[in-house]
Amino acid sequence: MLVTEEFRSGFVTLVGRPNAGKSTLINAIMGKKIAITSSTVQTTRHRFRAVLNRPDFQMIMVDTPGLHKPKDALGEELNTSALKALEDVDVAAFLVDASKPIGKGDRWIAEQLQRSCAKKICVLSKIDLADDRQISAQREAAEQLGQWDAMVALSAVTGYNVEAFVEEAEQLLPPGPAWFPRDMETDQPLEVMIAEFIREKILRSFNDEIPHAIGVAVDEFEYDRRKDLYRIFAIIYVERDSQKGIIIGKKGQAIKAIGIEAREDLEHLLGCRVFLDLSVKVRKNWRRDANQIRRFGYGDGVA
């Protein structure tokens, strides 16, 4: 590609408390589902990149696991991964949920951020859930948290001001050539995306302990050119026999429903029919086992 003087490119890391809306914002910017989202905190376990290609810039967005007080090895790995993503980035976007009071967690993240050399944008997210009074109070409170190069109040669900965020971030990117191929949208391997799309359906189907206790791995996937069909064999790992029973459900109803929903999403992602085989295995206490966490690719995404 011809690099003109005006072309800008660089890395924008999104950080915030769990559930602040980071993954939803990335999907809204990309105009398609790249990241999984759910109301369960700690949905994001992989640090991955989504690449926004426009004629005059390339913006590489880094989604990070929500920063929080870690309770186990998985939590620690996720925090380390998110903080690491602040090193060597051009822009850090700090998401603060506009509909919730600013808390200790937000203050701690803001402090970490102030140490980074990156340009900083404060994003007030989910403003569709807040009224004008709340938004302006949140704006004032966010200004007290640190020095920001820009502040944007937006809703990733309605799309309001999403483009304004992109424009602000673009202005803060340095001039430079594209770092990634111009047709690339994410650095997540297909296998990882498939496992994540399946995990999302489980997060959305169960409350409480189950979402945190599961890990999903693709055991095998192959494309049948003749039938234009992907055959995918995936394993859902749980920590206890009782959890296995819950995932499978009465007469296999629960796992069947997960399979149907996941298959629809995967057909959209892969652009062809999908045969999906899901099985459930117990791997005791995998969340305390750093090696197993890495095997799943959670945290740094390094298997």
Ligand X SMILES: Nc1nc2c(ncn2[C@@H]2O[C@H](COP(=O)(O)OP(=O)(O)OP(=O)(O)O)[C@@H](O)[C@H]2O)c(=O)[nH]1
Binding residue ranges for GTP: 16-23, 63-67, 125-128
Least distance from ligand X to the Cβ atom of residue 211, Å: 10
Least distance from ligand X to the Cβ atom of residue 105, Å: 11
Give the span between the Cα atoms of 43 and 241, in whole angstroms: 23
DSSP annotation of 68 reads: -
Indicate which single residue of 21, 211, 297, 301 sits in contact with ligand X (rule: CB under 6 A).
21
**Known binding positions:** 16-23, 63-67, 125-128
- Contact assessment for residue 296 and residue 217, using Cβ atoms and an 8 Å cutoff: yes
Indicate which single residue of 15, 20, 29, 91 sits in contact with ligand X (rule: CB under 6 A).
20
The contact pattern for ligand X, residues 62-81, with x = CB under 6 A and - = no contact, is: ---xx---------------
The residue (of 10 and 16) whose beta carbon lies closer to ligand X is 16
- Contact assessment for residue 247 and residue 280, using Cβ atoms and an 8 Å cutoff: yes
Least distance from ligand X to the Cβ atom of residue 33, Å: 11
Indicate which single residue of 13, 79, 155, 186 sits in contact with ligand X (rule: CB under 6 A).
155
CA 215 to chain centre: 15
Least distance from ligand X to the Cβ atom of residue 226, Å: 38
Give rounded-to-5 percent helix, strand, coil for the chain.
40, 25, 35
Task: Classify each residue of 152-171 as buried b or exposed e, where b means 16 or more C-beta atoms within 10 Å of its C-beta.
Answer: bbbbbbeeebbeebbebbbe
From 178, 189, 128, 160, select the one nearest 28 (Cα to Cα).
160
Pairing status of strand 57-63 against strand 48-54: antiparallel
Residue 253 binds to ligand X (criterion: CB under 6 A) = no
Distances in whole angstroms, Cα of residue 177 to Cα of each of 4, 12, 50, 181, 274? 8, 15, 17, 11, 38
The contact pattern for ligand X, residues 77-116, with x = CB under 6 A and - = no contact, is: ----------------------------------------
Residue 129 binds to ligand X (criterion: CB under 6 A) = yes
- Strand order in 8-16's β-sheet? 48-54, 57-63, 8-16, 91-97, 119-125, 150-153
Least distance from ligand X to the Cβ atom of residue 121, Å: 15
Indicate which single residue of 41, 135, 178, 280 sits in contact with ligand X (rule: CB under 6 A).
41
The residue (of 129 and 269) whose beta carbon lies closer to ligand X is 129
Least distance from ligand X to the Cβ atom of residue 95, Å: 6
Which residues of the chain form contacts with ligand X (CB under 6 A)?
16, 18-24, 37-39, 41-44, 65-66, 125-126, 128-129, 155-157
